[in-house]
A and B are shown apart, each in its own frame.
Chain A
Amino acid sequence: MSATRRSVMRGMALSGLAVGGANLLAACGGDEGGAASGAGASVKFGINEAEGTGAAYDRLKAIGEAYAKESGTKVALNAVDHNTFQESINTYLQGTPDDVFTWFAGFRMSQFAENGLITDLSEEWPIDGLGDSFKQAATASDGKQYFVPISYYPWAVFYRKSVFEKNGWTAPTTNDDFMALMDDMQGKGVTPFAFGDKDGWPAMGTFDILNMRLNGFDFHMSLMAGDEAWDGDEVKGVFDTWRKLLPYHQEDPLGRTWQEAATSMGKGECGMYLLGTFVVDALGENGEDLDFFTFPELDSSIGSDALDAPIDGFCVAAAGKNQEAGKAMAKWLGSAAAADAGNNNADAPFIAANDGASTSTYSDLQKKSAEVVGAAANIAQFMDRDTNADFANTVMIPSIQAFLKDPDDIDGVTSSIQEQANSIFG
Chain B
Amino acid sequence: MTHIDEAPRPATAVAPAQGRAKKLPGRDRATVIIMVTIPLVLVVLLVWVPALLSVVLSFGKWNGFGDLDTIEWVGVQNYQDIFTIYPAFWPAVQHNLIWLGFLFVFPTVLGMLLAVVLDREMKGSRFYQTAFYMPVVLSLALIGFIWQLFYSRDQGLINQVFHSQVDWYGDPDINLWAVLVATAWRHTGYIMLIYLAGLKGVDASLREAAAVDGASEVKTFFHVIFPVMRPINMVVIVIVVIESLRAFDLVWVINKGRNGLEVIGALVAQNVIGEATRYGFGSALAVIMMLISSIFITIYLRTVFREERNR
- Please report A residues at the B interface, Cβ cutoff 8 Å: 1, 3-6, 8, 17, 86-87, 89-91, 94, 108, 111, 115-117, 198-200, 251-256, 260, 263-264, 384, 389-390, 392-394, 397-399, 401-402, 405, 416, 419-420, 423-424, 426
Contacts and interface: CB of A to CB of B under 8 A. Distances in A.
Given A4-B67, A5-B68, A393 B77 contact: no
B124 interface: no
A254 B114 CA distance: 36
A394 B78 CA distance: 14
Nearest to A7: B67
Interface in B130-179: 151-155, 165, 167-172, 175
A397 B65 contact: no
B6 interface: no
Of B69, B165, B277, the most chain A CB neighbours within 10 A belong to B277
A86 B165 CA distance: 35
Interface stretch (B11-19, B184-192, B268-276, B286-294): B268-276
- Interface pairs A-B: 4 shortest CB-CB: A255-B170, A252-B167, A254-B170, A393-B276
B94 to A, nearest CB: 16
A384 B175 CA distance: 26
A252 to B, nearest CB: 4
Interface of B: 45-46, 61, 63-69, 77, 81, 85-88, 151-155, 165, 167-172, 175, 254-256, 258-259, 270-271, 273-278, 281
A200 B170 contact: no
A115 B66 contact: yes
B110 to A, nearest CB: 27
A3 B67 CA distance: 8
A199 B255 contact: yes
Given A5-B68, A255-B152, A260-B152, 9 more contacts: A108-B275, A200-B255, A251-B165, A253-B170, A256-B154, A393-B276, A397-B258, A420-B85, A423-B85
10 contacts: A91-B64, A94-B64, A94-B65, A111-B65, A200-B255, A255-B171, A384-B275, A398-B88, A405-B259, A426-B61
B98 to A, nearest CB: 19
A200 B256 contact: yes
B68 A4 contact: yes
Nearest to B156: A255
B263 to A, nearest CB: 14
A426 B61 CA distance: 10
A60 B21 CA distance: 73
Nearest to B66: A115
Q: Which DSSP category, helix, strand, loop or mixed, fits chain B's interface?
A: loop
Contacts of A253: 170
A115 B65 contact: yes
A254 B167 contact: yes
A116 B70 CA distance: 13
B169 A90 contact: no
A90 B154 contact: no
B67 A90 contact: no
A401 B274 contact: no
Contact of A394 (B64, B151, B254, B270): B270
A393 B85 CA distance: 16
B147 to A, nearest CB: 13
Nearest to B270: A394
Contacts of B259: 254, 398, 401, 405
Given A390-B276, A398-B87, A5 B67 contact: yes
Given A254-B167, A405-B172, A86 B155 contact: no
Contacts of B275: 86-87, 89-90, 108, 384, 389, 393
Contacts of B254: 198
Contacts of B169: 198, 255
Given A198-B255, A423-B77, A389 B277 contact: yes
Nearest to B254: A198
A252 B170 contact: yes
B172 A87 contact: no
A401 B67 CA distance: 35
Contacts of A1: 67-69
Given A115-B65, A117-B65, A394-B270, A256 B170 contact: yes
Contact of A87 (B61, B65, B151, B274): B274
A260 B276 contact: no
A200 B278 contact: no
Contacts of B81: 420, 423
A90 B64 contact: yes
A401 B154 contact: no
Given A90-B65, A416-B85, A255 B45 contact: no
Given A252-B167, A389-B276, A390-B278, A416 B68 contact: no
A390 B63 contact: yes
Nearest to A6: B67
A10 to B, nearest CB: 13
